[in-house]
Structure 1
Amino acid sequence: MNNNRNSKIETLKRRGRRKHLMNELSYMTLPENAFLDIEENQLFCQKVFTFLQSREEKVQIHGNHYREHIEKSEQVLKEMVKKVKITPTQGRLLFFRDHEIEALLVNVGGSV
């Protein structure tokens, strides 16, 4: 019974953190169901990291400070976008938070 109560408390905390993230991103137009269920989110993130680990050509982005990290990340993303033949309308953006990683659904290609 105590386990069930703790699970409910953690779920409520997670919902609160998700609501806070949505408030931080209020400048963006997000799809209605931007979040996966908590269990689905965890499985999705595990699949993403498994895929990334399996890749032979890995890219590491290093900078002297956070602004340089951002600039280098933008440069790598721009290079990757040039290789995309068909732009999807939506994609998952991973947000690394203190307690978890959220795979948030975002609009792509001018509708953001």
Structure 2
Amino acid sequence: ALAPFTVQTALGNLQAHANGQRFEVGERCSLLLRPKDALIRTLSKGLNTLHGVVQDCVFMGDYYKLEVEAGGQKLSLFSGDPFPLGLDLGFHFLPEKVLCLKIA
């Protein structure tokens, strides 16, 4: 399959790009979700939208680093704004920002 295509994950289905690589249907891969690429919204749904609970929020100088638990996994996100611990947070990744990588 050529990009964009849908990848089934423990967090739900995500639409991704393969950066020029070819993948077969059912082939395992790794997804790269960069913390700075998350678009954070408290109420969010739709394609490539995930939900998690804020576990930690640390000011890093010019942004906040959020640790979010989603689907039993911990994810790091960067935000210009702080969010309270325990908040159910929605966040979205544009399909072109979700990179699918071959597993060596």
- Structure-1-length-normalised TM-score: 0.24
Question: Which structure is richer in relative contact order (CA contacts within 8 A, separation 6 or more)?
Answer: 2
- Structure-2-length-normalised TM-score: 0.25
Q: Whose strand proportion is higher, 1 or 2?
A: 2
Larger radius of gyration: 1
